[in-house]
Amino acid sequence: MYLMCKVLFTIFLRFLLISQVHSLPKKKSYSEIKSCNIGNLAEEIASYDSVVRDIVDYVVSGPFKRKTYDELEKFVDMFGARISGSQVLEDSIDYMIKLTQDEDLTDIVTEELEVPHWVREQEKITMLEPRSKNIAVLGLGRSVSTPPEGVTSDVVVFSSFKEFDDAPIEYVEGKIVLFNAIYTTYGETASYRTQGAVRAAEKGAVASLVRSITPFSINSPHTGSQYYSENVTKIPTAAITLEDADLINRFYTRGEKVVLNIKMQSSFETKTSRNTLIDFKGTKNPEKLVIVSGHIDSWDVGQGAMDDGGGLFVSWAAPIILKRLNLRPKRTVRAIFWTAEELGLIGAAAYAEKHKNESHNINFIMESDEGTFAPRGLAVAGTQEARCIIAEILKLFESINASTLVETDSPGSDITVIVKDGVPGASLHNANENYFWFHHTEGDTMNVENPEELDLCTAFWTAVAYIIADISVDIPR
């Protein structure tokens, strides 16, 4: 009896857990997608098997082995962090153009746009009560400065917006708010970072802090974007570590007054940057595009090796490998290096606007911006018919264990801007369970990358783009 109760209880717990993660994208293998009947196309797709093998061999054990990793390493070591609007970002764009020209790919265009340039200067948080302690801090993008002497006040802690909304204005006015929401998924928890300052300011707070958006920490604060509202006072806002958020919360819960002094200085201006477009022209329908992409800018901490150096370099490699192997598809394969993703998908929005009269020519758009760990497949947005075709293509990647199709409505970051208008697209689905440990921190360095996994991503990315660019039908909308 006891045993049976225990088993039932375990099943109940598991059910609870599963219902909690309902916001995760649905994972489906191709065979689970119902009513896929793509007729003769299945046979045509199967015939690409030898091309896939050639590309995988060339990248995983042939002349391109470790090339993506070595080039990424040189790149991030040379430039380091590449924040939107900085000269180092522009220099890194020039470097990528040269690197591509050295491979005899010359169909390269850059498109200028205005981007935000937010520069972090001094940042310091000191706990004054109940004891003196340095609090590790990273200001959030676009945060305003404090006065030179900083802002000093006591802290009120909230574990959710619900709890915050229930608190009377008098309780928050003049205080420093700490949003201390425990990480569930990035999508769910990041709103405390993006919206926290506006919400806190609406109730008269003098500054807003957020528990870093991560499930794991070795006292590392995680920066990221946040958005002020037009008619709401702009208050200084920053991320602190899980450890310090927990410490402050423990004092607070015990009823002890926690007083902080926050000093933050930064500057903000507008600069010019560029999206970079590299075309490997199609033979039959060069106006039709299969886009592979990643963003070249990064936050100002770490090296931007993972976010998004990996995505940048697998997308750089795709047209180069096709050129080297003389695999010229019917449609054009276009690599795009987006600029100013981190400050709000600025480059992608400018591209969408500039090219909106030809968006019908985008056959499929791909982005890698969630890690380049072992590839597992694609997270695909599009009609059922579109997904059936992609699922059939993914079958060709069983040998490298990358056949999973995840259904999503909003893949990638930049490309959501284009996919929301009905263009089919996908992001790289990969074994990125630890991605958010490093995301937007000083820890985003080459040490996170793995050469074998990066090779697999490169081969997968290249072969998928080739097949979609070459098959006899357009991806339906």
* Residue with Cβ nearer ligand NAG (82 or 274): 274
279 part of the interface to Zn ion, by CB under 5 A: no
Is residue 369 within the footprint of Zn ion (CB under 5 A)? yes
Show the binding pattern over residues 305-324: x = contacts Zn ion (CB under 5 A), - = does not.
Answer: --xx----------------
Q: How far is the CB of 312 from Zn ion (least distance, A)?
A: 10
Question: Is there a contact between 390 and 378 (Cβ–Cβ < 8 Å)?
Answer: yes
Binding status of residue 370 toward Zn ion by CB under 5 A: no
Q: Per the structure block, which two tokens stand in for 329?
A: 């598809």
Q: Indicate the residue among 217 and 225 with the shorter CB distance to Zn ion.
A: 225
Strand ranges (E), 358-449: 362-367, 375-381, 404-407, 425-430
Q: Which of 32, 170, 188, 341 is catalytic?
A: 341
458: β partners: none
Distance CA 278, CA 107 (A): 6
Please provide the distance, in angstroms rounded to a whole number, between the alpha carbons at the two ends of the chain.
55
Look at the alpha carbons of 271, 272, 275, 276 in this order and tell me if their dihedral is positive or negative.
negative
Closer to ligand NAG by Cβ: residue 121 or 398: 398
Decide whether 199 or 376 has the Cβ nearer to ligand NAG. Answer: 376
231 part of the interface to ligand NAG, by CB under 6 A: yes
Task: Out of 102, 104, 149, 230, point to the residue binding ligand NAG (CB under 6 A).
Answer: 230
Least CB distance from residue 226 to ligand NAG, whole Å?
16
Closest by CA position to 426, among listed 290, 319, 335: 290
Q: Does residue 32 belong to the site contacting ligand NAG (CB under 6 A)? A: no
- Alpha carbons within 13 angstroms on the beta-carbon side of residue 423 total 25
Distant-in-sequence, close-in-space partners of 326: CB < 8 Å, separation ≥ 6: none
Out of ligand NAG, Zn ion, none, which partner does residue 369 contact, by CB within 5 to 8 A per kind?
Zn ion
Q: Residue 62 carries which DSSP code?
A: S
User: Which of ligand NAG, Zn ion, none interacts with 253 (beta carbon under 5 to 8 A by kind)?
Assistant: none
433 is an active site residue: no
Q: Of the two residues 270 and 357, which places its CB atom closer to ligand NAG in the complex?
A: 357
Say which entry of Zn ion, ligand NAG, none residue 358 contacts (CB below 5 to 8 A, set by partner kind): ligand NAG
Closest distance of CB 286 from ligand NAG, Å: 12
Q: How far apart are CA 289 and CA 361, in angstroms?
A: 6
Least spacing, CB of residue 258 vs Zn ion, in Å: 33
Instruction: State yes or no: residue 211 binds ligand NAG (CB under 6 A).
Output: no
Q: Does 358 bind ligand NAG (CB under 6 A)?
A: yes
256 versus 358: smaller Cβ distance to ligand NAG: 358
The H or E element spanning position 161 is helix 161-166
The interaxial angle of helices 451-470 and 384-394, nearest 10 deg, is 130
Element (H, E) at 90: helix 87-101
Site size for ligand NAG (CB under 6 A): 7
Alpha-carbon distance 255 to 23, whole Å? Answer: 35
Cβ-based nearer residue to Zn ion, 146 or 413: 413
Measured in degrees and rounded to the nearest 5, phi and psi for residue 134 equal -80, 135
Quick one: what does residue 404 bind among ligand NAG, Zn ion, none, with the CB cut-off 5 to 8 Å set by partner type? ligand NAG
* Pick 135 or 400: Cβ nearer ligand NAG: 400
393 and 422 Cβ atoms separated by less than 8 Å: no
Residue 31 near ligand NAG by CB under 6 A: no
Question: Rule CB under 6 A: is residue 399 a binding residue for ligand NAG?
Answer: no
Q: Is 23 near ligand NAG (CB under 6 A)?
A: no
Do the Cβ atoms of 380 and 476 come closer than 8 Å?
A: no
What is the bridge-based pairing of β-strands 331-338 and 285-295? Answer: parallel
Residue 167 contacts residue 158 (beta carbons within 8 Å) = yes
Q: List the beta strands (DSSP E) in 234-343.
A: 237-240, 259-280, 285-295, 331-338
Closest separation between CB of residue 439 and Zn ion, Å?
A: 8
Torsion from C-alpha of 375, 377, 379, 385, nearest 10 degrees:
160
* Distances, alpha carbon 304 to alpha carbons 142, 193, 439, in Å: 19, 20, 9
Q: Is 357 one of the binding residues for ligand NAG (CB under 6 A)?
A: yes
Nearest approach, Cβ of residue 82 and Zn ion (Å): 11
Q: Does 392 bind Zn ion (CB under 5 A)?
A: no
Rule CB under 5 A: is residue 367 a binding residue for Zn ion?
no
Give the residues across from 263 on adjacent strands: 124
**Cα–Cα distance, 258 to 181 (Å, whole number):** 18
401 binds ligand NAG (CB under 6 A): yes
Nearer to ligand NAG, 127 or 456 (CB): 456
Tell me the chain's radius of gyration from C-alpha atoms.
24
Give least dist CB 207 to ligand NAG, A. 22
297 binds Zn ion, rule: CB under 5 A: no
Which of 199, 376, 387, 440 is in the footprint of ligand NAG by CB under 6 A? 376
Residues that bind ligand NAG (CB under 6 A): 230-231, 357-358, 376, 401, 404
Q: Which residues are catalytic?
A: 341
Residues that bind Zn ion (CB under 5 A): 307-308, 369
